[in-house]
Structure 1
Amino acid sequence: MFLIRDKYASHLLRALAVCLFLVATPGFSQSAPTITSSVDTTAIKIGEQLHWKVTVETDTLSHVVFPEGQTFSPLETVEAIMTDTIRKTDRLTLQKTYALTQFDSGTYTLPAQMIEINGKHFFTDSLVINVANVAVDTTVQKMYDIKPLIAVEKSRSIPWGLILWILGILLVLGGLLYWFVFRKKPLSEEEKVALLPPFDRAILGLKQLENSKYLIQDDYKTYYSELTNIVRSYLEEDVHVAAMESTTDQLIDKLEMMKDAGKLKLEQETIQQFKKVLQTSDLVKFAKSKPDTSVAEADRKSVELIVIKTKEAIPEPTPEELMQQEEYQEEIRQKSQRKKLVYTSLAAVLLLVFTGVAAVGYYGFDYVKDTVLGHPTKELLEGDWVQSDYGFPPVSVETPKVLLRQAVKLPAESQATIKEMQAFAYRNPSALFTVATTSILLAQSEEPDYEKSSEQILQNFEAQGARNIITKQEEFTTRTGVRGVKLYGSGKFAVPDSEQLVNGKYAVLFFGGKGFQQNLILSWQADDPYAEQIVERILNSVEVKTTL
């Protein structure tokens, strides 16, 4: 009986011991963490680096968040080295090293850094860092004056692909214009003959007819048709008589009338000989007559003689006729020049149309229109941007233009809570675009009231003529992890120097800490794609200091 009780008591004691151990274990795991920090040196030269190391010892279940971004101001963070982790039973040791530097000489305070453990904030000790100048031996290295500013041409983004296409099209069109319009083309035999004077052309035609095979082939009809056409064409061009459509009798009558009027000094015998040749030709063409070959050859020689005598019988042109001929030639030259001008203009118009269609297809109609006609926010977007810090505590932001300091006069009701306010802004009335920053030092070391600031900004919008303001709010985080509040929305905004209201948008960022607040304010016209890109780029560039 006693033995059984002893065994029962022994088991009970063991169970109690296990319970006590389980109860004690959580209490040990929740012991307070320890944080230590140190630097490898407190004195550096300009541009040298020092290493700041922070060690956190806590239990294995803790969640630790180390500082991120430029939180060591006035020192600059060069690199955050990967965290080293050491586990020992139920304890965890974390070591994080930061490489820091400074490019101005002086004495600086490395501010206390916040370590977040399980949602609670712990702060390291602050340190004093001395940054010394680099000594320069002026006996060896001469000192020179600061060089003057050099004007640098603005860089602009160039669509090389489109430019190459346009150049290719220009080369093709230029080649076509040169080949078909401006090039001196080699003349064909027919063109060379056509450019000859009427007399030379007639004699050449008679020589070619002499060497033809019409008579050998008994093709008298073609032979006489060409023979009479040669002489009739000559008479029309040189004697200015309607010969091609006239019958034999009509043509002979016209020549005799010109002879009687003294306009053609031709012998009657020559006219009769010409009439005889024309009558023989009529018989061959219409009565199917077939003269001897010798007669046909003699008729050709007769026509050649008639052409020569007719040329000699034409009176010399008067000065008035010569002037008319010069005017006629000048008119022909002007027509040729106008024709070339029309071709060139047509090619230029086609080039512009083709280039415009290609640009619209590649970039879109609105982009091409805004490029040709100009658009204020497009020019801001594609201009040279500026990255700078504004105010204290500084707001670092990239903007299309430099923000200018604004004169700030605090109202009486704000002077008790605000110690100092610095404001910088850029406004483009034609683009209806505004970007501004404010840095505020509070009179008391307290957290800023973002709700009150939001109400004040909305009241300022309304005081400037804005109506129907829609407001939304969300958390905003910079690229380096600094958290803030974003107030944004839309409304009807007033156009400067006008009573007109346009659809607009706005965005306001709030950052801050104990004793200070930083704001970034943006407003722009709705449905402006270039303004949307500007705002996105600005918001992605914002950085702020988290401590004074």
Structure 2
Amino acid sequence: MKSITSYIKNNVSQCLRVPFLYLLLISSFFGFSQSEPSLKSEVDATTLKIGEQIHFKVTVNVDSTAQVIFPEGQTFSPLETVEAFKTDTTRKKDRITLQKTYALTQFDSGSYKLPQQRIEINGKGFFTDSLRIEVSNIKVDTVAQKMFDIKPLITVQKSNTNIWKIILAILFVTIIGGLVYWFLYRKKPLTEEEKVALLPPYDRALLELKKLENSKYLIQDEYKQYYSELTDIVRSYLHEDANVSALESTTDELIAKLELRKDAGELDLDKETISQFKKILQTADLVKFAKSKPPVSAAESDRKAVEQIVVKTHEAIPEPTEEELLEQAEYQEELARKQKRKKTLIAISAAVGAILLGMVGFTVYHGPTKVWDTLTAHPSKKMLDNKEWVSSSYGYPPISLETPEVLIRKKTKIPAEAQAKIKEVQTFVYQNKASLFTIATTSTTFNEQEEPDHKKSTEHLIENFEKKGTKNIITKNEEFTTIAGVKGLKTYGSGKFKIPNSKELIKGKYIILSFGGKGFQQQVLFTWLEDDSYAQQIIDRVVTSVEVKTES
């Protein structure tokens, strides 16, 4: 009994003598073990029927300060992601548990491998387990099940992302049309001067004489202005209504013309009226050139006399014959036609000028090359301006990228000598041979689980260029890394490519991106004209969007 007690005392004393540093190390070890993240993945079923869904659940237990990024998009190929549910978060002290669930489906029967998924925790990648999913056909009882006719195709209207351009063009045309209408064709309200100018010569002369009567020229001692307007009124009337060239004639010349018209029987004026008119003109000449100043009563009497001369002259003018009236009507119609043609010419000139001005402004802002390429519908620029780029995954293992046009599946025949090594090749291509523009993806699976030889396969592609007539090929290699961090090989360079159906060679560029793992290889090929800046912009954008799966 004593020995047992002694043993216990000795052990206790030894424990008490354990350095405090050991305790700290032990405590730190347990604390570090608890901070390590843990990852668990599971599915609610490993078998399903075509079109049914399974739920793939990922549970991550990490420190509360950790940053966790779950995969997004179609990363479960060959299964299709239907929905990625919201992440559930559970907190317990300084630890959190994150649970992410994905709904997956498949519409073709067969045995499929659910690939590993990369979960990024604090910048480090952790991978879920890969699983085997069996998809079976649905048995259809064609006897009990009622059959229906195939529904007709429904036309779906394509969304127009360039609607703003159409609206802008319509707005521009509307503004130009509105300006042309407003300044040329709109019936503008007439000013008083325009209304007077549209009156017949006789009525206009009487109206102007009435205005002269109410003027303040005589009160303000402005005789020169008074007589100038008085003679201008009567001279204009004689010129327009009596067809007497009176505007530039001297007093003697005008009187001589009136007497000549009277003697010819073209103007039935008495001598007294002509004599009185001559006297008024002579008085006006003295006032304008000799600074004469007749009495106010004489000036008013001269105005009244001129009014009577206008009336008598109007009465003395013979009535126009039918031929004269017809000639006047034709003249007025021709005058109206000329006026209309003039307005139309002005409208067309204004529209053309506005269009040219807009084109000049657009050219100055964007540059002549871009404007010309827009007008001539440059194929590469048209693709670059396309707002509806396609983001999709091609082949298996999938290659994801964003392109201006969808890539089309192309059947690839495996050579007999390569069938022992290559299991399957899936190729998708978009190509415009005229502009040497190509985007192509190739996913190759091998019979053996071995790493692909990127340099060798790239050499085969370049040899294929040479077989098609490409000369002076320059090749460079460098490492390429996608946005998601997947590393591959980038082979790029230039050469002189052969134009289809021609012996001419043109300078072009190419890029080959190569990725892969055990048993598979993925490659993306680009070719374009060397001086095609729009194609260069397209390729730069597509290259940055390339993503690949890291396993088959």
The bucket for the TM-score relative to the shorter chain is 0.7 to 0.9
Find the partner of 2:468 among 440, 464, 469.
464
Q: Quote how far apart the aligned CAs of 1:220 are.
A: 4.4
Match of 1:187 in 2: 190
Alignment of 1:117-156 (within 5 A): 126-129=131-134, 147-156=151-160
Match of 1:278 among 278, 281, 284: 281
The aligned runs of 1:225-244 (5 Å cut-off) are: 225-244=228-247
Moved more, 408-417 or 250-259: 408-417
Partner of 1:430, secondary structure, is: helix
The answer to whether the 8 A contact 1:71-1:546 is kept is no
1:534 aligns with 2:548: no
Q: Which of residues 489, 493, 496 is equivalent to 2:500?
A: 496
User: Residues 487 and 150 from structure 1, CA distance in 2 versus in 1: closer, same or farther, beyond 3 angstroms?
Assistant: farther
Counterpart residue identity of residue 330, structure 1: E
Quote how far apart the aligned CAs of 1:231 are. Answer: 1.8
The separation in 2 between residues aligned to 1:128 and 1:222, in whole angstroms, is 110
- Tell me the distance in 2 between the aligned counterparts of 1:434 and 1:125: 35
Equivalent in 95, 101, 105 of residue 104 of structure 2: 101
- Per-residue CA distance 1:487-543 (angstroms, 9 max, x = gap): 222222222222332221111222333443332221111232332233234334444
Match of 1:245 among 227, 245, 248: 248
Q: Which residue of 2 aligns with 1:370?
A: 373
Aligned residues of 1:71 and 1:113 also touching (Cα < 8 A): no
Distance 1:545 1:218 in 2: 105
Partner of 2:13: none
- How much has 1:252 moved relative to structure 2? 1.8
Name the CA shift for 1:146/1:369 in 2 (closer, same or farther; >3 Å). farther
- Could you list the per-position Cα deviations for residues 271-308 of structure 1 after superposition, in whole angstroms to 9, with x for gaps in the alignment? 23323333344444455555555444443333222222
- For residue 184 of structure 1, report the CA deviation from its aligned partner: 2.6
Deviation at 1:458, TM superposition (A): 0.7
Query: Residues of 2 paired with 1:411 and 1:130: CA distance?
Result: 32
Contact 1:170/1:351, CA 8 A, preserved across alignment: no
The alignment status of 1:315 with 2:325, answered yes or no, reads: no
Task: State the 1:268 CA deviation.
Answer: 2.8
Deviation at 1:412, TM superposition (A): 5.1
Q: Distance in 1 between matches of 2:76 and 2:284?
A: 116
Name the CA distance, whole Å, in 1 between partners of 2:298 and 2:466: 113
Deviations 1:314-339 (A, max 9, x none): 22334443344334323432343244
- C-alpha change, 1:148 and 1:388, in structure 2 (3 Å) is farther
Change (3 A) 1:334 1:346: same
Structure-to-structure mapping, 1:499-514, within 5 angstroms? 499-514=503-518
Q: Which residue of 2 aligns with 1:453?
A: 457
**In the alignment, what sits opposite 1:340?**
343
CA distance in 1, matches of 2:128, 2:235: 118
TM-score computed with the length of structure 1 as normaliser: 0.74
Cα distance per residue 1:335-363 (max 9 Å; x no partner): 43244234323432343244335544665
Using the TM superposition, give the Cα deviation of residue 455 of structure 1 relative to its aligned residue in structure 2, in angstroms. 1.1
Question: Structure 1 residues 218 and 499, CA, compared in 2 at 3 Å: closer, same or farther?
Answer: same
Any conservation in 2 of the 1:115–1:122 contact (CA below 8 Å)?
A: yes
TM-score with structure 2 length normalisation? 0.74
What SS class does the counterpart of residue 435 from structure 2 fall into?
coil
Match of 2:446 in 1: 442
The code of the aligned residue for 1:344 comes to A
- The reply to whether residue 266 of structure 1 matches residue 255 of structure 2 is no
Matched-pair contact (CA < 8 Å) for 2:41–2:128 = no
Residues 510, 520 of structure 1: 8 Å contact kept: yes
RMSD over equivalenced CA pairs, Å:
5.0
One-letter identity of the residue aligned with 2:407: L
Letter in 2 for 1:195: L
Distance 1:107 1:190, change over 3 A: closer
* CA 50–135 in structure 1, closer or farther in 2 if over 3 Å, else same: farther
Aligned match of 1:12: none
Whole-Å Cα distance in 1 between the matches of residues 276 and 39 of structure 2?
A: 135
What is the distance in 2 between the residues matched to 1:41 and 1:323?
101
Equivalent positions of 1:341-420 (< 5 A) are 341-360=344-363, 363-383=366-386, 384-411=388-415, 413-420=417-424
SS at match of 1:230: helix
Q: CA separation in 2, counterparts of 1:40 and 1:67?
A: 19
Q: CA deviation at 1:376?
A: 0.4
Amino acid corresponding to residue 533 of structure 1 in structure 2? Q
Does the CA contact (< 8 Å) of 1:71 and 1:547 recur in 2? no
In structure 1, the residue matched to 2:27 is none
Partner of 2:78: 74
The verdict on how the C-alpha distance between 1:262 and 1:435 changes in structure 2, with shifts beyond 3 A counting, is same
- Distance in 2 (CA, whole Å) between partners of 1:361 and 1:159 is 25
Looking at structure 2, the residues matched to 299 and 125 of structure 1 have their Cα atoms a distance apart, in angstroms, of 120
1:124, 1:217 → 2: CA distance? 112
Change (3 A) 1:339 1:417: same
Deviation at 1:181, TM superposition (A): 2.9
Q: Which of 40, 52, 55 lines up with 1:50 in the alignment?
A: 55
Task: Name the CA distance, whole Å, in 2 between partners of 1:214 and 1:177.
Answer: 43
Shift of 1:37: 7.4
2:210 match: secondary structure: helix
Match of 2:206 among 191, 203, 206: 203
Q: CA deviation at 1:438?
A: 2.8
Match for 2:340: what amino acid? Q
CA 1:430–1:239: 2 relative to 1, 3 Å: same
**Alpha-carbon contact 2:201-2:237 (below 8 Å) kept:** yes
Q: Secondary structure at the match of 2:478?
A: strand
Paired letter, 2:264: A
Q: Which amino acid aligns with 1:251?
A: L
Structure 1 residue 428 displacement after superposition: 0.8
The change in CA–CA distance for 1:367 and 1:390 in structure 2 (over 3 A counts) is same
Contact 2:458 2:491 in 1 (8 A): yes
1:316 alignment partner, SS class: coil
Task: Give, in angstroms, the shift of residue 214 of structure 1.
Answer: 4.2
1: CA distance between counterparts of 2:224 and 2:174? 54
Could you tell me whether the CA contact under 8 Å between 2:449 and 2:519 is conserved in 1?
Answer: yes
> Residue type matched to 2:55 in 1?
L
Q: How far did residue 255 of structure 1 move?
A: 1.3
